[in-house]
Homo-oligomer: A and B are copies of this chain.
Amino acid sequence: MSLYEQLAEDIQQMIAAGTLPPGSRLPSVRTLRSRRAVSQATVLQSYALLEARGLIESRPRSGYFVASGPPAPSVAARPTDPLAVPVDVSDLVFHILGATRERRLLPFGSAFPSPLLFPLDALAASLSRSTRGLDPWTTVTDLPPGSLALRNEIARRYLASGVEVGADGILVTNGAMEALNLCLQAVTKPGDVVAIESPAFYGALQAIERLGLRAAEVRTDPIDGIDLESLREVLDAQPVAACWFMSSFQNPLGATVPDTRRPQIVRLLAERGIPLIEDDVYGELYYGARAPRPYKCFDRDGLVLHCGGFAKCLAPGWRIGWVAGGRHAPRLERLKTMSSLATNIPAQEGLADYFGRGGYETHLRRLRRRLASQQEEMLAAITRHFPDGTRATRAQGGYFTWVELPERVDALELHRLASAEGIGLSPGPMFSARRAYRNCVRLNHGHPWDATLRAGIARLGALAAQLA
C-alpha cells in the first residue's frame, strides 16, 4: 500500500469507529502533513481518495469534513446467549422474499444490486463467442471440479489477493449459495451446532434449518464484525461443528473485521480444529484502496472453506460460484456430483472468455464507485427523513445499510405498511435465529439513485416516525 493509501485507510478507520463523527472537520492539510511527516501531495491524494469514496466532502474555503450521515449503531447492547438454538425462520423469510420479487416494489428490500450496473453486453458477447467455439467434449471435461480455464482465472485472482490456492483446489458450483450449502453439509451432521454472526445472512439460517442443525449467535459489531470474546464464549459453551462467517461487508450489517483481528479468529478456530465456512461474496465490492484479506489468507490447516461467486460483482443470473475447500475439497466435490452433478458449462466458459479479454478491473472500479456514491445518497436521505434516534452503518463496501430505528418501531409492522405503499425493505428479525433486531431494517443501496428512490426513503422515514 502506498503512503497516501495508508493515510486514507487510517482516516477511514477513525471515521468508521466514530472518532471522527459525521460532519466533523478533518485536520488541515498543513497539520496532517507535519504530524504524519508526509508531503502535502500525499495528504491531498488521501483526501481525494476519501472524497471519491464518499467518506469526506470538501467545502469551499472551509476545508474537509466527514460526510454527514446518521450516527453508527453501537455493538448490539442486548445480552447475547452463547448457547445454540434450533432455527425456524423459513416461513418468515419466504414471506418477506415473496414480496421483494415484485417489480412494483422499490428495491430497498432486495438482496441484489441493480442488474443495470453490470457489463451485460460484454458478457453476452463472451457467452456467444465461447458457446459457438465450444469443444463438445467439455460436457465431459468440465464435470466437477469444473472448467479448468475458469478455475485458472479464479486461482490467479486468489494469488493477487494473497491466498495460496491453485486451480486444483477450486470447485465450481451453481452460485455461491450451492457452495455454502455443500460446505455446511460436508462438515456437519444433523443436530450439530454452527456458530454464525448476529445478525446473520438469512440464507445461512435457512441452510442450518434445512439440515436440522442448531445456530449459536456470536455478538457482531456493526463496524468491526465478529467479537472475539463472544466467539470464545460460544466455543466454550458447547461443541461447535463449524462457523459460517462473512469477513467483509457482512450481510446485513456491512461490518468488516479489521485485518489485525482476522488471523486471531482463524487461529482460535484452528486450535480447536473447527472448520470456518467463509462467505466472501461481497469481497470485490470494497470502496477503499484495496480488498480486505479473506480469512483464507491466514489458513494454515486447510480448515477455511472459502466461498465466492460472480452474482454480485459481475454476472447476475449466471449462477456461477466456487469454493476453495482446503482439506474438505474432496468431500465437497463428491457432494456436488451427487446433488447436482455439474455446473452450466456455457456460463463457465463464457466467464473464462470474459476474463481473458480484460475489462473486469475497469468494471469493478466503476461498480465500486457507484455503490459508494449510492451509499452517500442513502445515508444523506436517512439523516434527512428518518426519526431522531435512528442509527445506520456506513459499510466500507457492498450495498447494504443496516438501520437501527428507535426502540418502539416494529420492523415487521413497518414492512407491512411500507409494502402496502410499494416500498420494499428487509426487517431485522429475518436475520436472527431468535427473531431479534425487532427495531432494525436492512436497506439496499445497490440501485442507481433517482427521485423515486429519494421519495421512497422519505416516505419510509415518515412511516418509521409514525411508529416511533
**Residues of A at under 8 Å CB distance from B?**
90, 94, 97, 101, 103, 110, 112, 115-116, 118, 120-121, 123-124, 127-128, 131-132, 134, 136-143, 174-175, 177-178, 181, 190, 203, 206-207, 210, 212, 316-319, 334-335, 337-347
**Inside 8 A of A177's CB, which chain B residues have their CB?**
339-341
Supposing A112-B140, A136-B115 touch, asked if A127 and B338 sit within 8 A by C-beta, the answer is: no
Contact at A116–B128, with CB atoms within 8 Å?
no
**Inside 8 A of A175's CB, which chain B residues have their CB?**
340-342
Given contacts A190-B212, A319-B343, 9 further A-B contacts (CB under 8 A): A110-B140, A112-B139, A112-B140, A127-B128, A174-B343, A207-B338, A317-B346, A340-B340, A344-B344
Closest to A202 in B: B338
Contact at A181–B131, with CB atoms within 8 Å?
no
Report the minimum CB–CB distance from A106 to chain B (whole Å): 13
Report the minimum CB–CB distance from A458 to chain B (whole Å): 24
**What is the interface of chain A mostly: helix, strand, loop, or mixed?**
helix
Which of B174, B178, B317, B341 makes the CB contact (< 8 A) with A142?
B317
**Inside 8 A of A90's CB, which chain B residues have their CB?**
334, 338
Which of B181, B207, B318, B340 makes the CB contact (< 8 A) with A346?
B318
Supposing A131-B128, A210-B339, A339-B210 touch, asked if A103 and B344 sit within 8 A by C-beta, the answer is: no
Contact at A139–B342, with CB atoms within 8 Å?
no
Report the minimum CB–CB distance from A28 to chain B (whole Å): 46
**Inside 8 A of A142's CB, which chain B residues have their CB?**
317
**Inside 8 A of A318's CB, which chain B residues have their CB?**
344-346
Q: What is the total number of copies of this protein in its complex?
A: 2
Closest to A125 in B: B132
Supposing A137-B115, A142-B317 touch, asked if A203 and B338 sit within 8 A by C-beta, the answer is: yes
Supposing A338-B206, A339-B177 touch, asked if A124 and B132 sit within 8 A by C-beta, the answer is: yes
**Inside 8 A of A347's CB, which chain B residues have their CB?**
344, 346-347
Cα–Cα, bound, A337→B335 (Å): 18
Closest to A212 in B: B190
Supposing A94-B334, A319-B340, A345-B317 touch, asked if A120 and B136 sit within 8 A by C-beta, the answer is: yes
Supposing A124-B134, A134-B124 touch, asked if A103 and B141 sit within 8 A by C-beta, the answer is: yes
Residue of A112, A210, A341 with most partner-chain B CB within 10 A: A341
Closest to A333 in B: B94
Report the minimum CB–CB distance from A395 to chain B (whole Å): 22
**Inside 8 A of A212's CB, which chain B residues have their CB?**
190
Which of B120, B143, B345 makes the CB contact (< 8 A) with A134?
B120
Report the minimum CB–CB distance from A186 to chain B (whole Å): 11
Cα–Cα, bound, A120→B139 (Å): 12
Cα–Cα, bound, A334→B94 (Å): 8
Which of B120, B124, B339, B345 makes the CB contact (< 8 A) with A178?
B339
Contact at B115–A124, with CB atoms within 8 Å?
no
Report the minimum CB–CB distance from A315 to chain B (whole Å): 9
**Inside 8 A of A346's CB, which chain B residues have their CB?**
127, 317-318, 346-347
Nearest first, the 6 A-B pairs at minimum CB distance are A317-B345, A128-B128, A115-B136, A139-B317, A344-B344, A139-B316
**Inside 8 A of A342's CB, which chain B residues have their CB?**
175, 317, 319
**Inside 8 A of A203's CB, which chain B residues have their CB?**
338, 341
Selected A-B contacts with CB under 8 Å, 28 pairs: A94-B334, A97-B337, A103-B140, A118-B136, A120-B134, A121-B132, A124-B131, A127-B131, A139-B316, A142-B317, A174-B178, A174-B319, A174-B340, A175-B341, A177-B339, A177-B340, A177-B341, A178-B341, A181-B340, A207-B338, A210-B339, A317-B344, A318-B344, A319-B343, A319-B344, A339-B339, A344-B347, A346-B347
